[in-house]
Amino acid sequence: MTTAIAFEKAKAENRAALVGYLPAGFPSYEGAVKAATAMVEAGCDVIEIGLPYSDPMMDGPTIQDAVHRALTGGVRIADVFRTVEAVAATGAPTLVMTYWNPVDRYGVDAFARDLKSAGGSGLITPDLTPEEAGPWLAASDAHGLDRVFLVALTSTEERIAKITDVCRGFVYAASLMGVTGARGAVDTGAPDLVERTRGVIARRPETAAPLPVGLGLGVSDGAQAAEVAGFADGVIVGSAFIKRLLDAPDEESGVRSVRAFTAELAEGVRGRAGTA
């Protein structure tokens, strides 16, 4: 299943898609695969596998902690591809979320080739601008991969247009200014960001492929998932999954906690606020 089909399937069910994030190698290589598989089985439509990186810019303390443990545990890019291959075998579209430097150093076309070979669906690149994305645009076209760029609360309509023009799969709306992490409330500017982004997408040529808007950063429970699902096409959750693994006394109980939390979020996106 492609990312686009996963979003279309959720839309046909009158709900938002649930997108879950976990870094490869956390709490272990096997633990990450088990947790991501549990997320799919309990209701996640799309999975993001984080590529652990030593110099994160957007990640808050929860993800930083998980990534540090993955790196000290010895995870490497080959393990990221192995994780993608195992998770993609569940049938869920599986994308890699990564800063650009590791891709550039690995070799852009080689990274795209190996990601495709592993069954990956594409990349989410929080620090890559459309102006600097030429090699990735070419490689993603050559290997048939999605490319997800981010829009932010401060993005102008002109900027959103540049970003959505190069997106494929979905566009990632970052609802917070600052780093990742579960919050007690969704930022009040989030609905406006989604509305402005949809307005820009609506002005694209009729021949352009549909481009849903997923909203991420800050969702911590089913009620917030329902709130976000009331105005966005996708609800993206990361830190709250990781916290359940960090707080668990052992890996097995952590995976059980992740499974239960996914079910809560899946129920939330199906009971989204503001819809019939």
Q: Residue 231: which CATH number?
A: 3.20.20.70
> Given this model, what pLDDT does residue 16 score?
97
pLDDT value at 3 more than 90: yes
- CA–CA distance from 21 to each of 132, 196, 202, 275 (Å)? 25, 25, 28, 26
Domain-embedded: residue 155: yes
Supply the pTM of this predicted model: 0.93
At 246-276, the pLDDT tens digits run: 999 999 999 999 999 999 999 999 986 555 4
> Given this model, what pLDDT does residue 274 score?
53
Counted domains in the chain: 1
Domain-embedded: residue 276: no
> Given this model, what pLDDT does residue 115 score?
98
Domain-embedded: residue 39: yes
Among the listed residues 8, 30, 45, 59, the single catalytic one is 59
Q: Which residue has the higher pLDDT, 63 or 50?
A: 50
User: Is 267 annotated in the active site?
Assistant: no
Average confidence (pLDDT) over 72-90? 97
Among the listed residues 8, 13, 30, 48, the single catalytic one is 48
User: Is 146 annotated in the active site?
Assistant: no
Of 162-171, 224-233, 266-275, minimum mean pLDDT range = 266-275
User: What range defines the domain where residue 137 resides?
Assistant: 3-271
> Given this model, what pLDDT does residue 276 score?
42
Query: In 3D, which of 121, 130, 114 has the Cα closest to residue 165?
Result: 130
> Given this model, what pLDDT does residue 146 score?
98
Domain-embedded: residue 222: yes
Q: In what order do the strands lie in the sheet with 146-148?
A: 146-148, 122-124, 94-97, 46-50, 17-23, 234-237, 213-216, 171-174, 150-152
